[in-house]
Every structure is written in C-alpha cells, then in structure tokens.
Amino acid sequence: MSRAQNFLLGLAATVALLPYVHSATISSTPAQTFLGIGGSGAWWPNDLFQFPESVRQNLSSLLFSQSGLGLSSYRYNVGSGGVGVSNPTRAPETFYVAPGQYDFTKDAAGVYFLTQASNFGVPDLTMFANSAPAPLTVDGTSCNSQFQDGTGDAYGTFLADVTQQFRDQGILINLISAMNEPDNSFGPTPCGQEGMLVEPTQRAEVVTGLWNALDARGLTNDVGILADESSQLSFATSEYPSWLPEVIDKVHALVHHTYDFPSDSSYSSYASNVKSQFSGKQTWMSEICCTMGEADGSGKGYSQGYDPTITNALLFSGLVFQSLVLAGEPHYDFWTLVSKEIGCDPSQDIGCAADPNNNGWNDGVIYYDPNFATNGNHELYVKKQFWTYKHFANFLKPGTQRLPISGSDSTTNSMLAASNSSPIVVIAMNTGSTDSTLSLTFPEDVCATSGFRTSASEDFTNIPAATGGGSDWSLNLAGLSLNSYLFDRSACR
Ligand SMILES: *[C@@H]1O[C@H](CO)[C@@H](O)[C@H](O)[C@H]1NC(C)=O
C-alpha cells in the first residue's frame, strides 16, 4: 500500500537507541524502518474543543509541529454515540444515522483535532473505534454490549464510508482499527467509556466486513486494517489462533496494547511467536498509559497516580525502548496524549501540576483543569514526559531505520540508515542518579554536531555535542536524563 511517508523523503536520518551502557558499538546493518510515533485523540477533544481558539491552536502545535512533539501518528476515535456512557467527555457522537445514512455535522470536536493533525502533515492518521455505532451492537448500546454476528458488512460499510468522506476532503486516513480492546465491553452500565466485546471467534467477521467495504471503494491500497488491539500482550498471543489465520492477508499490521506491562522475556516471546506463526506480519504498539514506579522501570504496572517528574518520564521512555529495541516494533503510540486526570486543583494550588499525587492518572503528556468549564482556567500543563517523548517523535521519523547497538548491556540496540547526507541520532538514557559516559564506536567516521537533554531541570535543552573523532565518540549521560546526540555521516573537517 502507498503510505503517506513521502513528506520526509530526503530527510531520512540514521537513528540509534539505547539504554544505559558504558561502551557499545553501532552496527552498519539496519534493523526495522520506523513508521510512526504518536498517540490518541480520546477523549480530550470533547473538552479542548470548548477552549479558546488560541489555546486549541497552541495545543495542536504542541502535539503536531516539530517545535512541539512532532508526532507522526494520530489516532482519531470515531464515536459510537456514547449510548450507556455516563461520563459525557467519553461519549463521542456518531456519524451513523441508519444504513447508508450519515450526519457529518456530528463530532465537531473530534473532527477539529483530526483536521489539525492533517493540516500539520501528520502522515499516519488512524481511525479507531471502541464500539460499532450503538444500533449495530447486540444491545443497541455503545458499551456493556457485544458485536452482533452478521453485522460485519454493515459495520465495515460505516467505517469505509466515513473514511471515504474524510479522504474526499483531503484528510487522508490511512489506517483503520475497528475494535479497540475487543476483550472488554467496559460494562456494567452506566459505563465509564465506550466498549464492545468482540469474541475472538467473531473478529474475523469484523476484519472481513471492513476489507470488503474498502475493496468495494477501491481503498485497500491506501487504507490498511489494524487488528486487534488486545489490551494485553498475553491475550494477543492466546487469541490469535482463533481469528487471525482466516484473515491474515487482510490485516496490515498486528497492533496490541501492553497493559500487562510485559517483562522483556514475555515481550520477546510474543515477537518471536508472531515471527514464526505469521511470518512477515509486523507488530505495532498502539496504546499504553497509567503506571507509577521508578525511572528504571521497577514497580511498573497499571495503577492510579500522577507523576509529572523525570522519574515517570524515564520510566515511560524505557517502555518505548522496550517496544522499539527489544521487540523491534516500527510504530509506537502512547494513549491519550492530553488528560484532565491531574489529580489536583491547579486553579487553587498553582504549583500542584508539577508535583506527584495519588489521585490523578499518568494517561497524558499535557494536562488541563478538570473544572475549566466553571472556573475558566484554560492553562495547559506540560509534564516532563512531554519532553522525553519529544526525543522519540522529533527524531524517529517515518523512513528512518534503526541501527542495532551492541555492548556491555544486552538490551542496547538500534539504528536507522539512510542517505550519506543524513544525520545519525543516538538516543540514550541514564536512569541512575550519577553521571556516566558512553563510549560509542560507529561503523564509519562521523562528526558530532549537537545534543539535546531532558532531565529534572532541562526540557529538550541544547547541550554540547559528543566528544571524540573518527569513529570513536564519548557521550555524556547526566544522571536521570534522556539524551539525543546528533552526528553527521562524515569525518569532521
Ligand atoms: C502554549 O502552552 C504552553 C504550555 O502551557 C505555554 O508554555 C506556551 O506559552 C503556550 N504558547 C502560546 C503561544 O500560548
């Protein structure tokens, strides 16, 4: 299929990723080619659409421009109508009226931010659904219900028609996920969000219905089907056999969440299982959030709590490294990007957004006041994780290739190679509290040009370039920091 990756042609960079090591070597043989780094538009668009236009513009720029995160992937949540959902923010409107009949004036909030992503040139636009439109489900609701056998064609027709409508306006949705966390109906009613149970044995019908509808519109080369967004890697592994073999040729990539916070060995065995059973099929990381714990990842696990500091930012960076380096996945999405689960009242206590608390949730990288509608506080609160995620999203553009790194730490790997004129970036973190030095050997002569660091006191701040010469360089890794060091692919003059 033709993917919207050409916007960066000619700018492809060479990237290396690695955790904390003292000495390592970059390979000249590339591993995977990166496809996207992003997150989801659920459910904050419903709130942020009510903010002043200047703030909506600022938020769009913080998410989608290179001076902000520079995301290359955005997941638009196509609503089911919110029937049965008690939390109005989490009840997106649906375009569905009746078979073949739509109201495209609905969901103005979601469409606004999808349009922003498109206008900023975000190349991967996924449309994902937590539930089919309520009238199509077993109970006629948007949650606590189940996929109705026999509705695959009707549901696929809805998704394909909506996609066609956006594409006709130049909003080039190129990926569709029809069942986000099909293992959960999010009941009982009243529910906290939309959700539709799709039994493993029903999932092939969902994929086939969507494929047929895309095929009828000539869209199968331009729009890929993602499935099945299992909430846990362990579900994905055990459930693939009951639906995937039947539709493997219709699925563009296998996407999963990691709410079981898999160990390195579980994640590796998932990746190698897929490789042996479904050879040639990529796996993508499409959703994660919500853990407290230490910078090195100890103590991680799904839990409540808000930590806006470098500790949690490095913990989440470690999860990105795990997916991109350990599992070799080419596409990574964090969950909601923007959240009101700040766990404190920033209108009363101005500094509270910068302090950890146990009442919020780590589901965003930018936060807003949950009481904005009554107190008029339209401030955006940027968490440290925003700045660490920027390293990945700014530098791992679609088309860049990872170059594996080997060294004293076995989990060090990665890199991307493109044209000779392209830079190499090394993204490296230090989860210890003391400074260290990484001695890095490149496969050719390079020249260090610049560096960027995020730490407790720095937000993607310019730092001195690496020191050295030829193919041997030293990178300073300050305690509790994430660093990006840039190199030109030729000797210094
Ligand atoms: C955008 O929001 C950020 C975060 O609150 C703030 O620092 C910045 O000044 C804002 N920019 C504009 C142009 O409003």
Burial (CB < 10 A; 0-12, 13-18, 19+), residue 168, is exposed
Q: Write down the pLDDT at residue 19.
A: 44
Q: Write down the pLDDT at residue 434.
A: 87
Q: Write down the pLDDT at residue 416.
A: 30
Q: Write down the pLDDT at residue 11.
A: 38
3-state secondary structure of 397: coil
- Alpha-carbon distances, residue 181 vs 162, 235, 288, 322 (angstroms): 21, 10, 12, 21
Atom 4 (ligand 1): residue with closest C-alpha?
A: 380
Q: What end-to-end distance do the CA atoms of the chain give, in Å?
A: 42
**How far is Cα 484 from Cα 477, in angstroms, rounded to an integer?**
10
Q: Write down the pLDDT at residue 419.
A: 30
- Alpha-carbon distances, residue 430 vs 229, 408, 412, 434 (angstroms): 31, 14, 13, 8
CB 484 within 8 A of CB 440: no
18: left (phi over 0), alpha (psi -120 to 50) or beta: beta
Tell how far the Cα of 343 is from the centroid of ligand 1, in angstroms: 21
Pairing between β-strand 145-146 and β-strand 224-230 as defined by DSSP bridges: unpaired
Helix (H) or strand (E) run with residue 368 in it: strand 366-368
C-beta 55 within 6 A of ligand 1: no
Atom 3 (ligand 1): residue with closest C-alpha?
A: 380
Helix (H) or strand (E) run with residue 350 in it: none
Strands (E) in 302-344, as ranges, are: 331-333, 338-339
C-beta 380 within 6 A of ligand 1: yes
Which ligand 1 atom is the nearest neighbour of the CA of 61?
1
Q: Write down the pLDDT at residue 409.
A: 53
Q: pLDDT (tens digit, 9 = 90+) per residue, 144-178?
A: 999 999 999 999 999 999 999 999 999 999 999 99
Tell how far the Cα of 366 is from the centroid of ligand 1, in angstroms: 11
C-beta 377 within 6 A of ligand 1: no
Peptide bond into 473 cis (omega under 30): no
Which ligand 1 atom is the nearest neighbour of the CA of 380?
5
- Alpha-carbon distances, residue 448 vs 92, 428, 484, 488, 493 (angstroms): 48, 15, 11, 6, 11
Residue 148's nearest CA partner among 214, 199, 215 is 199
pLDDT at 353 over 80: yes
Kindly state the average pLDDT of the residues 71-82.
98
C-beta 61 within 6 A of ligand 1: no
Where, residue-wise, is CATH 3.20.20.80 in the chain? 36-395
Q: Write down the pLDDT at residue 17.
A: 54
Q: Chain-wide mean pLDDT for the chain?
A: 92
DSSP state of 356: -
- Alpha-carbon distances, residue 100 vs 111, 128, 210, 434 (angstroms): 20, 20, 15, 62
**How far is Cα 398 from Cα 222, in angstroms, rounded to an integer?**
16
pLDDT at 9 over 80: no
Q: Does domain 13-29+400-492 have CATH number 3.30.70.60?
A: no
Query: Pocket of ligand 1, candidates 57, 58, 390: which has the most ligand atoms within 8 Å of its Cβ, to mutate?
Result: 58
C-beta 58 within 6 A of ligand 1: yes
Q: Write down the pLDDT at residue 449.
A: 95
C-beta 382 within 6 A of ligand 1: yes
Query: Pocket of ligand 1, candidates 62, 63, 65, 387: which has the most ligand atoms within 8 Å of its Cβ, to mutate?
Result: 62
**How far is Cα 256 from Cα 83, in angstroms, rounded to an integer?**
26
Where, residue-wise, is CATH 2.60.40.1180 in the chain? 13-29+400-492
Token pair of 124, please?
Answer: 């991967």
Q: Which CATH superfamily is domain 36-395 in?
A: Glycosidases (3.20.20.80)
Token pair of 232, please?
Answer: 């846990």
C-beta 304 within 6 A of ligand 1: no
Which ligand 1 atom is the nearest neighbour of the CA of 58?
1
Tell how far the Cα of 121 is from the centroid of ligand 1, in angstroms: 21
Token pair of 3, please?
Answer: 């993917």
Residue type, 201: T
CB 216 within 8 A of CB 160: yes
Q: pLDDT (tens digit, 9 = 90+) per residue, 289-298?
A: 999 999 999 9
